[in-house]
Structure 1
């Protein structure tokens, strides 16, 4: 059994690190969501801020967008050219995707500096892509409401999770391999 543990030690380390870091961040996010129920931002500050930035993005590219809050609704309404098109809920803020991304990167940690820089850069890329996703999805649903399932349920998740996967591939192939290449070789 000890030989088996030694053989698969890197895999076990990866799985445990991933699960622990994911659990800690998810628990922290849950505490944040519980706390935000007592604040004036609805449904929570990050989701509200994402809705606000999505509105700004749409307005900058020449459309008329406006967000609205309604008492008792756990989402932010996004009006597009005067029509209520989408609602932005807590799941639309990309925090869960960012937590998943970070847990993987931490599990394959390189140097502290590289890991922190990649976590910050990757999280920012995911966050910005999510704002663009909401904006483009809003435009798509305005002009093609019959494609809601394909746009919201297939294409955009494929894009956001595909992007996360590509960031993971870049991390493993560039930063983790780079760490191994610069590590001192062991004498046989």
Structure 2
């Protein structure tokens, strides 16, 4: 441990008399110890994080009390799991949970991880419900909001335009979801 501390790979936590690993060391350890990704463990962790998001506290997901959960949620979108293709295996019953996790990550300003989860939720909804279903279009709109937060204005505009066209067709031009998308486009054009 002394050698690891000297090279700043491990940090001593004097108050708790424990150690913590640098994120890079943590990733190296994971890569070295876990050559094969355990599918059951991943989905167990996914389900635990998703079930820990209280739907009654939706408006408070950005608060500090949810930051600990966001760290675990962000790990679910780690490159290692993407490369292993785990998120491509999302089942219909986990699509909504992926979107809940994405919202948590977005509110906690973990935008890259949120994008991964929103994209997987969108792919799952397109597969299960079709590209023009209103629930799918809501996810498209949410992905547009995320892209706007990331400063990816062209991608945001594309998502909003898709959501707008779909909502106008499915719900009509005066529906609140359609008008919400029009508002998002207006904000994007105003700020951009």
TM range (shorter): under 0.3
| TM-score for the superposition, normalised by structure 1 | 0.25
| TM-score for the superposition, normalised by structure 2 | 0.25
Larger gyration radius, structure 1 or structure 2: 1
**Which one scores higher on RCO, CA 8 angstroms, separation ≥ 6?**
1
